[in-house]
Amino acid sequence: MSLLRVEKIARHFGSLVAVKDVSMTVEPGELRAVIGPNGAGKTTFFNLISGFLQPTSGRVIFDGADITGLLPARRVWRGIARTFQITEVFPELSVRENLRIPVEVASGFRLRPWLSRAADAEIRAYVAELLEKGGLAAKADRMVGELSHGDQRATEIMMALALKPRLLLLDEPTAGMGDQETYAITQLIRALHKDSKLTIVLIEHDMRVVFHLADRITVLDQGSFLAEGTPQEIAANEQVQTAYLGKAA
Partner 1 sequence: MPQIDKRVGDAVVWLLLVTAPLWLTYVGGYIELGSRVLIYALAAMALNFLLGFTGVLSFGHAAYFGLGAYGTALTIKYLYPSTPLAMLVGVVAATVAAAIIGPMIVRLRGVYFAMCTIAFGQVFYFIAFQWSSVTGGDDGVSAWHRMPLGFGLATIDILKDNKAFYYFALALFAVCAAAMAFLLRSPFGRTLLAIRENERRARFLGIPVDRHIWASWVISCFFVAVAGALYALLNNFVDPRALRWDQSGNFVIMAVLGGMRSFWGPLIGAAIFIVLQDYLSSETQNWMSFIGLFFVLVVLFFPRGVLGIVRRKAAS
Which residues in this chain contact partner 1 in the complex, by CB under 8 A?
Answer: 50, 52, 71-73, 76-77, 81-82, 84, 88-93, 97, 100-102, 104-106, 109-115, 159, 163
Return the number of the residue (4 or 76) whose C-beta is nearest partner 1: 76
Q: How far apart are CB 104 and partner 1 at their closest, in Å?
A: 4
Which amino acid is located at 107 in the chain?
S
Return the number of the residue (71 or 191) whose C-beta is nearest partner 1: 71
What is the C-alpha to C-alpha distance for residues 66 and 168, in angstroms, rounded to an integer? 18
What is the C-alpha to C-alpha distance for residues 41 and 17, in angstroms, rounded to an integer? 9
Return the number of the residue (82 or 216) whose C-beta is nearest partner 1: 82
Q: How far apart are CB 123 and partner 1 at their closest, in Å?
A: 9
Furthest-apart CA atoms within the chain: distance in Å: 70
Return the number of the residue (32 or 96) whose C-beta is nearest partner 1: 96
Which of 117, 157, 111 is closest to 133 using CA atoms?
A: 157
Q: How far apart are CB 110 and partner 1 at their closest, in Å?
A: 5
Q: How far apart are CB 115 and partner 1 at their closest, in Å?
A: 6
Q: How far apart are CB 143 and partner 1 at their closest, in Å?
A: 10
Q: How far apart are CB 165 and partner 1 at their closest, in Å?
A: 10
Give the Cα-Cα-Cα angle 33, 51, 32 (nearest 5 degrees): 10
Which of 120, 107, 119, 159 is closest to 136 using CA atoms?
A: 159
Return the number of the residue (127 or 185) whose C-beta is nearest partner 1: 127
Burial of 166 (0-12, 13-18, 19+ CB in 10 A): middle
Helices and strands (H, E) in the chain, number of each type: 9, 10
The edge-to-edge listing of strands for the beta sheet with 224-229 is 80-82, 167-171, 199-203, 31-35, 216-221, 224-229
Return the number of the residue (110 or 197) whose C-beta is nearest partner 1: 110
Return the number of the residue (93 or 128) whose C-beta is nearest partner 1: 93
Q: How far apart are CB 21 and partner 1 at their closest, in Å?
A: 26
Cβ atoms < 10 Å from Cβ of 3: 20
Cβ–Cβ under 8 Å, residues 61 and 49? no
